[in-house]
Amino acid sequence: MSSLSKTAMGKAFLAFCASLFLFAGHPAAQAQARALPDFTDLVVKADPAVVNIRTTAKAPARSSAGGQDPYELFRWFFGPDFVPPGRGGPPRQPGPDSDGGQEVPRGVGSGFFISADGYVLTNHHVVTGADDIYVTLTDRREFKAKVIGSDERTDVALIKIEAAGMTALKPGDPSQLRKGEWVMAIGSPFGLDSTVTAGIVSATGRDTGDYLPFIQTDVAVNPGNSGGPLLNMRGEVVGINSQIISRSGGFMGISLAIPIDEAMRVADQLRTSGRVIRGRIGVQIGEVSKEVADAIGLGRTAGASVGMVEPGSPAEKAGIEPGDVILKFGNRTIERSSDLPRTVGETKPGTKTTIQVWRRGGTRDLSITVGEMQPEKGAAARADEGSGGGAEKANALGLVVSDLSAAQRRDLRIRGGVQVDAAEGSAARAGLRQGDVLLALDNTEITGTAQFNGLVAKLDRNRAHVVLVRRDELTQWVPIRPAR
């Protein structure tokens, strides 16, 4: 290439760069830049309302000999939100408690004030199983919090600190959210408190559970963000960041938030009674497919198909039968099967209403009286403890267990074992929970409930023991110290 042609090309390139510079200064380009969202004012207003939540649990001191990570057990039980000492926050030295155990970091999360007198909304999974809960404000003040109430089904918890004059967030209306709308999250991912991330609403009414239609966003949410607020561009909280969908355990572009109106309904009950009271009718249901709808003459895929009716339940007393399709509950139309448990759950027990079903080519209106959903077994056992309510008393390890059926043992491919119905005290601090299967105590294989409780009664209460715990497909030894 000649020097002349190189010169010509150089001039052309400089002219192109100049045109880009001029375009960048064009009013249309400037207007487009100005249209991008600016979150700075929102952060200034909302940031003081968001808190870091640090939880601790007490566990027996144990050696990490053999190269085993001493915190791997806690990661298994408490999930990726667990932060070991010295990571994601200032290191805190563990100290012995009255039982000879150690206070160890259990995890980190986020929360936000919903009132000036110190009520904080967060996730159930952030605080459940914790012995102590510490709330840190943006001005670095730290308070010890107490749990007012926590609801596992919706993953909502209400805690409180003794303080006044706190900055509270104003609830927004999640029903007004639109796909593509800008939203912002504030939280403590990996313990990095007061972290702001932003994105858009990807979907609303996302069904992933019986009791909540989630808000889906692409806002970056990671372990530690749990319990923090999702805010709209008016600075109103529209959701609680609760879950991520990920194959790696880290953020992959899909975050789920609990709609704030649903969360506030739960929080109001937790503040009033410490628990959530839900209605129930006693049916197992499923979706209505197009093939089924066409075959039974329904004409559209709507409603909830009844697969089973519990004996003695409100549904059986109302005359509901397996094979019915529930189309309406009161004045609410049931479009999808997930609509039914939400609608029934929000109904006060004892309410009499009409339920419309599709049966053999036509609709029928049945009268039904809504029953009350009972608390989980573990919660019921704790509520009845010491009250003479007839609940089975926990053993010295803090466990209430039951025998496994032959079918359960066959499915799990085990010879013996017992199932945990409730875990409290030492067992809860060690991370055990309802549904775990216990296979061995120290060096003795567990064969049944009576044998296990007999072994526990004879344990040396001055030292820690170990139980072999199976949860899903993972089995691990867990140290636990009997109550004295």
Distance from C-alpha of 114 to C-alpha of 163, rounded to nearest angstrom: 13
Domain(s) labelled CATH 2.30.42.10 in the chain stretch across 279-372, 377-480
User: Could you tell me the CA-to-CA distances from 155 to 28, 127, 161, 243 in Å, in that order?
Assistant: 46, 10, 20, 10
| For residue 323, pLDDT beyond 90 | no
- The pLDDT score that the predictor gives to residue 429 is 83
How far separated are the first and last CA of the chain, in Å rounded? 91
188 is known to lie in a ligand binding site: no
| For residue 145, pLDDT beyond 60 | yes
Quick check: helix, strand or coil at residue 351?
coil
Distance from C-alpha of 427 to C-alpha of 101, rounded to nearest angstrom: 13
Quick check: helix, strand or coil at residue 103?
strand
What average pLDDT does range 189-211 have in this prediction? 86
- The pLDDT score that the predictor gives to residue 91 is 39
What average pLDDT does range 108-127 have in this prediction? 95
At 8, the pLDDT band (50, 70, 90 cuts) reads: low
What average pLDDT does range 295-320 have in this prediction? 90
Q: Which CATH number fits domain 279-372: 2.30.42.10, 3.40.50.300, 3.40.50.2300, 3.90.1150.10?
A: 2.30.42.10
- The pLDDT score that the predictor gives to residue 299 is 85
Quick check: helix, strand or coil at residue 357?
strand
Supply the CATH classification number for the domain 377-480. 2.30.42.10
In 4-118, DSSP assigns E strands to 50-60, 101-113
Reported as half-sphere exposure (CB side, CA atoms, 13 A), residue 79 has a value of 18
155 is known to lie in a ligand binding site: yes
125 is known to lie in a ligand binding site: yes
Supply the CATH classification number for the domain 174-273. 2.40.10.10
In 156-261, DSSP assigns E strands to 156-160, 182-187, 195-207, 213-217, 229-231, 237-244, 255-259
- The pLDDT score that the predictor gives to residue 76 is 46
26 is known to lie in a ligand binding site: no
> Considering only CA atoms, which of 222, 260, 270 is closest in space to residue 243?
222
Cα angle for residues 442, 446, 450 (degrees, 5° grid)? 115
- The pLDDT score that the predictor gives to residue 27 is 59
- The pLDDT score that the predictor gives to residue 379 is 41
- Rounded to two decimals, the pTM is 0.63
Superfamily of chain region 46-160: Trypsin-like serine proteases (2.40.10.10)
Domain(s) labelled CATH 2.40.10.10 in the chain stretch across 46-160, 174-273
At 437, the pLDDT band (50, 70, 90 cuts) reads: very high
| For residue 482, pLDDT beyond 70 | yes
Q: Are strands 50-60 and 418-423 parallel, antiparallel or unpaired?
A: unpaired
- The pLDDT score that the predictor gives to residue 213 is 85
Please tell me which residue, 128 or 69, carries the higher pLDDT value: 128
Catalytic residues: 125, 155, 226
- The pLDDT score that the predictor gives to residue 386 is 35
pLDDT in tens, 465-478: 888 888 887 777 78
Please tell me which residue, 407 or 133, carries the higher pLDDT value: 133
> What is the token pair recorded at 12?
């052309």
- The pLDDT score that the predictor gives to residue 41 is 94
> Which residue do the tokens 């206070």 mark?
103
Contacts of 176 (CB under 8 A, 6+ apart): none
Distance from C-alpha of 310 to C-alpha of 342, rounded to nearest angstrom: 19
222 is known to lie in a ligand binding site: no
Quick check: helix, strand or coil at residue 245?
coil
| For residue 263, pLDDT beyond 90 | yes
What average pLDDT does range 366-393 have in this prediction? 59
- The pLDDT score that the predictor gives to residue 357 is 94
Distance from C-alpha of 31 to C-alpha of 406, rounded to nearest angstrom: 71
At 375, the pLDDT band (50, 70, 90 cuts) reads: low
> What is the token pair recorded at 456?
């526990």
Dihedral angle of Cα 247, 250, 251, 255, to the nearest 10 degrees: 80
- The pLDDT score that the predictor gives to residue 71 is 45
pLDDT in tens, 39-84: 999 999 999 999 999 998 876 544 444 444 444 444 444 444 545 5
pLDDT in tens, 16-43: 555 555 545 555 555 555 578 899 999 9
| For residue 347, pLDDT beyond 50 | yes
Instruction: Phi first, then psi: give them for residue 454, nearest 5 degrees.
Output: -65, -40
Quick check: helix, strand or coil at residue 446?
coil
Please tell me which residue, 1 or 422, carries the higher pLDDT value: 422
